[in-house]
Amino acid sequence: MRKTLAWFGVLTVIGYLFSTCLVQVNEDELVLITQFGSPVRVVDKAGLIGKLPDPVQTVVRLDRRLQAIDSDLGEYLTRDKKNLVISAFILWRIDDPLKFLQSVKDNQGAEQRLIDLSGSELGAAIGNYTLSSFLTTNSDETRIPEIVNSVTGKCRTQAKEEFGIQVVGIRLRRLGFPQQNLRAVHKRMRAERERMAKKYRAEGKEAAAKIRSQTDKEVRELLASTYREAQIKRGHGEAESVRIYAKAFQKDPDFYKLTRTLESYGKFLDDKTTLILSSQSPLFKYLETPPDE
């Protein structure tokens, strides 16, 4: 019976030592081991580690994962005195557990410090740039990455030195105009659009007129040159016919005159014509004086 109890005792001690001397470190944790309250080492690799039993060495577990917090929505003034409403987010993780615990204690404290820090750095940085550094239609001219990188750089150094925090990045999650400016912005947008609409309509008319007049020009030019060609062809034909006529008629101009004149009589004397004929005309020679038989 006593022997059994002794066994129980031994087992309990072994179990206790196992549970307190072996520490499981998860992937998402940083473990700080302290000896009588003073830190002895930081474990940043997941797996099983050993330490002295509990009253001697204790374990503090911290989250090593990347976290995101948002800064408050703030109104900032650019160098050319334009208001911008900006909210940033900060990606951070615990870098130095000891410093972290000593300076900010927990995540809440850390977040508040980071928000304050980034807010003031953002304000300072934005004041150095004009609005066109933020808003530009030429993507080569945008300075936004440069601005946030400089803010990140400054915050990173300070957060690392003072809070044991690694600032991975400070970026914007909101960029806008202040609410009280919206009406003016909308009005400007509308005016711009109305101007564009007018421009499009005018351009349309202009383009159509241009096409029409170009068409007119081409049609007229084509008809004119066609007329020229046609006349030349006609002329050639007529010249040829003149030559042919002349060649034929030259053989006996008198006979030509006779036949042609007679032919033309048939054409221009019609039933509206009144011929006043002299009875002494040769035509009536035999009418008045019959031939002597």
Partner 1 sequence: MNEHSDFARTFQHARPIIAGLIALSLVFYAASGLYVVEPEQRGVVIRFGKVVDDRVMPGMHYHWPWPIESVQRPRTTEVRSLAIPFRDNGGKNIDAGELLTGDENLVQATLLIQYIIKQPKDYLTSTTDPDAVLKRLTQWSSIKHFAAMSVDEVLTTGRDTIQRSLKRNVQRLADEHRLGIRLTSVQLQNIEPPSANGVASAFKSVASAREEKHKLEQDAAGERNRRLPKSRSDAESLLRDAEAYAKEVVEKAQGDSERFLSVWREYRKAKNITAYRLYLEAVENIMPRAKKLIINPAAEQAGPTGRPQEPRHRQANRSLPDLGNSFLSQHSTKNLQK
How many residues bind partner 1, per CB under 8 A? 125
Q: How many CB atoms lie within 10 A of CB 164?
A: 20
Q: For partner 1, which residue of 37, 50, 108, 270 counts as binding (CB under 8 A)? A: 270
Closest approach of Cβ 141 to partner 1, in Å? 8
Instruction: Give the residue from 152, 148, 115 showing the smallest Cα distance to 129.
Output: 148
Closest approach of Cβ 36 to partner 1, in Å? 25
Question: Do 169 and 93 meet the contact criterion of CB atoms below 8 Å apart?
Answer: no
Q: For partner 1, which residue of 10, 139, 162, 164 counts as binding (CB under 8 A)? A: 139
Report the site for partner 1 in 53-92 (rule: CB under 8 A): 63, 65-68, 70, 72-73, 85, 87, 89, 91
* Stretch of residues binding partner 1 (CB under 8 A), selected from 8-16, 117-125, 152-160, 248-256: 248-256
| Closer of 38 and 254 to partner 1 (Cβ) | 254
| Closer of 86 and 117 to partner 1 (Cβ) | 86
Report the site for partner 1 in 99-128 (rule: CB under 8 A): none
End-to-end CA distance of the chain: 197
Q: Taking each helix axis as running N to C, give the angle between helix 144-163 and helix 107-126, from 0 to 180 degrees, rounded to the nearest 10.
A: 140
Burial class (CB in 10 A: 0-12, 13-18, 19+), 253: exposed
Q: Whole-angstrom Cα distance, residue 191 to residue 183? A: 12
Q: Whole-angstrom Cα distance, residue 154 to residue 156? A: 5
Q: Alpha-carbon dihedral of residues 170, 176, 178, 181, nearest 10 degrees? A: 160
DSSP state of 7: H
Q: In the chain, what is the greatest distance between 2 CA atoms, to the nearest angstrom?
A: 198
* Stretch of residues binding partner 1 (CB under 8 A), selected from 98-106, 109-117, 149-157, 270-278: 270-278
Report the site for partner 1 in 206-235 (rule: CB under 8 A): 207-212, 214-215, 218-219, 222-223, 225-227, 229-231, 233-234
Closest approach of Cβ 17 to partner 1, in Å? 15
* Stretch of residues binding partner 1 (CB under 8 A), selected from 34-42, 116-124, 149-157, 245-253: 245-253
41 binding partner 1? (CB under 8 A):
no
Instruction: Give the residue from 88, 74, 62 showing the smallest Cα distance to 155.
Output: 88
9 binding partner 1? (CB under 8 A):
no
* Stretch of residues binding partner 1 (CB under 8 A), selected from 6-14, 52-60, 137-145, 153-161: 137-145
* Stretch of residues binding partner 1 (CB under 8 A), selected from 8-16, 111-119, 151-159, 186-194: 186-194
DSSP state of 145: H
144 binding partner 1? (CB under 8 A):
yes
Segment (H or E) for 114? helix 107-126
